[in-house]
């Protein structure tokens, strides 16, 4: 079975609440967020409750990569024959990439926006920062447990670090290998 990846809408720059997200928003915020949006809107009755939340669109991840040249680094890495053939080299290269992603400064305006959204919606509370990519929760590939979740995040600095950790976790060795096995384009 060929895994079909939804495209990415990199023009969308809102921070939508889950209740404003629908299945069609998968191209903006990923499968997990779009599915949670459907569940949050449905209400669930007594069957389930979806905690409040919002999504960070793909555009901000793409901006972070481009701002620090990490997009070019990823492209070069993926086209490198040694990276594709040598497991130890691949593991080390992915580790260095994750480190660079986490060390790179987030756009301060972006941090201010997400912190404002968190403090406005969840004052004084810790939040979970989770992945919602276009390469998980798909027919033929669920990706459960491949990417990081950071619990009980409080404060702008911790929030920025958690977002970078989740973004960097897309390049965990296991996540890379699973996407490769499923024939998923890493870009």
pLDDT of residue 57: 98
pLDDT of residue 42: 80
Contact between 118 and 159 under an 8 Å Cβ cutoff? The reply is yes
pLDDT tens-place string over residues 23-70 = 999 999 999 999 999 999 887 667 888 889 999 999 999 999 999 999
**Number of C-beta neighbours around residue 185 at 10 A:** 10
Where residue 1 falls among pLDDT bands split at 50, 70, 90? Answer: low
pTM (2 d.p.): 0.95
Q: 31: exposed, middle or buried (C-beta count within 10 Å: 0-12, 13-18, 19+)? A: buried
Counting DSSP H helices and E strands in the chain, the numbers are: 9, 2
Average pLDDT value for residue range 157-174? 98
């Amino acid at each position: 079975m060929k895994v079909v990846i939804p495209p990415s809408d990199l023009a969308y720059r809102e921070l939508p609440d889950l209740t404003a997200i629908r299945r069609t928003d998968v191209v903006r915020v990923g499968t997990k967020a779009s599915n949670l949006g459907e569940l949050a809107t449905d209400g669930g009755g007594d069957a389930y409750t979806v905690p409040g939340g919002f999504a960070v669109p793909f555009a901000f991840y793409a901006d972070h990569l481009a701002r620090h040249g990490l997009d070019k680094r990823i492209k070069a890495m993926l086209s490198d024959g040694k990276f594709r053939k040598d497991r130890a080299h691949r593991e080390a290269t992915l580790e260095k990439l994750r480190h660079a992603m986490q060390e790179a400064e987030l756009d301060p305006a972006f941090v201010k926006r997400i912190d404002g959204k968190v403090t406005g919606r969840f004052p004084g509370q810790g939040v979970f920062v989770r992945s919602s990519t276009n390469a998980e929760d798909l027919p033929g590939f669920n990706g459960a447990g491949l990417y990081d979740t950071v619990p009980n995040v409080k404060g702008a600095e911790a929030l920025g670090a958690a977002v970078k950790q989740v973004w960097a976790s897309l390049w965990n060795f296991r996540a890379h290998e699973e996407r490769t096995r499923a024939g998923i384009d890493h870009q």
